[in-house]
C-alpha cells in the first residue's frame, strides 16, 4: 500500500463560499488535486505516513480564535482555535450579563489546531434561550472573547 505524506496548514479562517483544494503527493512522484468543501471527518489507514506533523507545530506561531460557524446558529455551532504552545485551555460560554452558561473545555492540549462544538445548552444540559452569547478561549495569561448569536 502506498504511503502518503499529508501536511495540513490552516493559514486563515475558512470563509463561507470559498473553494479550497487538497493536494496529495505520493512517494512514487504521482500527485492528485481535488476541491474540498464540507469535510466532517478524515480517516487514514495504518499505512499513513505522519512525517509532516512536526512541521505543523513549527507553523503555528500564535494563539488565535476564529469566529464561530455558523453564526447565527441553531441548534449548534463550532469554534476553531489554535494554540502555539502546550497549555491548559479553558473555553467558556457566557450570557450577555456575564454569567457562566457552560464550560466547554478545561484540559491540557499540545500545539495544534482544534475545533469544539456548543449545542446551545447550559451547565445542566437544558436548552438556553435565543440571544447573544460570549465565548472565551484562554491559555495561560491570554484570553480571546467573541460574540455569537443563537436563534431558536
What stretches in the chain show pLDDT beneath 70? Answer: 1-23, 26-27, 33-58
Residue 144 and residue 69 in one domain: yes
Residue labelled with grid coordinates 456575564? 98
Residue 68 and residue 134 in one domain: yes
What DSSP element (H or E) covers 5?
strand 4-5
Residue 79 and residue 48 in one domain: no
* Closest residue by Cα to residue 79 from 134, 127, 7: 134
Half-sphere CA count of 97, side-chain side, radius 13 A? 3
For position 138, what pLDDT does the model report? 97
Residue 23 and residue 74 in one domain: no
Looking at residue 56, what DSSP letter applies? H
For position 59, what pLDDT does the model report? 80
For position 4, what pLDDT does the model report? 44
Residue 77 and residue 93 in one domain: yes
Cα–Cα distance measured from residue 76 to residue 120, given in angstroms and rounded to the nearest whole number: 6
- State pTM to two decimals: 0.64
Residue 50 and residue 10 in one domain: yes
For position 72, what pLDDT does the model report? 96
For position 21, what pLDDT does the model report? 67
Residue 80 and residue 97 in one domain: yes
Residue 46 and residue 77 in one domain: no
CA 104 centroid distance within chain: 13
Q: What angle do CA 137, 143, 147 make, to 5 degrees?
A: 60
Residue 25 and residue 90 in one domain: no
Residue 45 and residue 89 in one domain: no
Q: Which residues of 82-109 are buried (b: 16+ CB within 10 A; e: fewer)?
A: bbeeebebebbbeeeeeeebbebeeeee
Residue 26 structural domain: 4-59
Per residue in 107-147, pLDDT tens?
A: 999 999 999 999 999 999 999 999 999 999 999 999 999 99
For position 55, what pLDDT does the model report? 57
Amino acid at each position: 500500500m502506498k504511503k502518503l505524506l499529508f501536511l495540513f496548514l490552516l493559514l486563515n479562517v475558512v470563509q463561507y463560499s470559498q473553494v479550497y483544494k487538497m493536494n496529495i503527493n505520493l512517494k512514487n512522484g504521482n500527485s492528485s488535486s481535488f476541491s474540498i468543501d464540507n469535510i466532517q471527518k478524515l480517516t487514514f489507514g495504518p499505512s499513513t505516513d505522519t512525517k509532516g506533523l512536526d512541521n505543523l507545530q513549527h507553523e503555528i506561531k500564535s494563539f488565535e480564535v476564529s469566529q464561530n460557524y455558523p453564526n447565527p446558529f441553531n441548534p449548534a455551532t463550532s469554534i476553531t482555535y489554535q494554540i502555539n504552545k502546550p497549555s491548559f485551555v479553558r473555553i467558556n460560554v457566557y450570557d450577555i450579563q456575564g454569567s457562566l452558561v457552560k464550560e466547554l473545555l478545561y484540559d491540557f492540549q499540545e500545539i495544534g489546531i482544534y475545533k469544539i462544538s456548543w449545542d446551545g445548552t447550559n451547565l445542566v444540559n437544558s436548552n438556553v434561550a435565543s440571544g447573544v452569547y460570549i465565548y472565551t478561549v484562554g491559555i495561560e495569561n491570554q484570553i480571546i472573547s467573541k460574540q455569537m448569536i443563537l436563534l431558536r
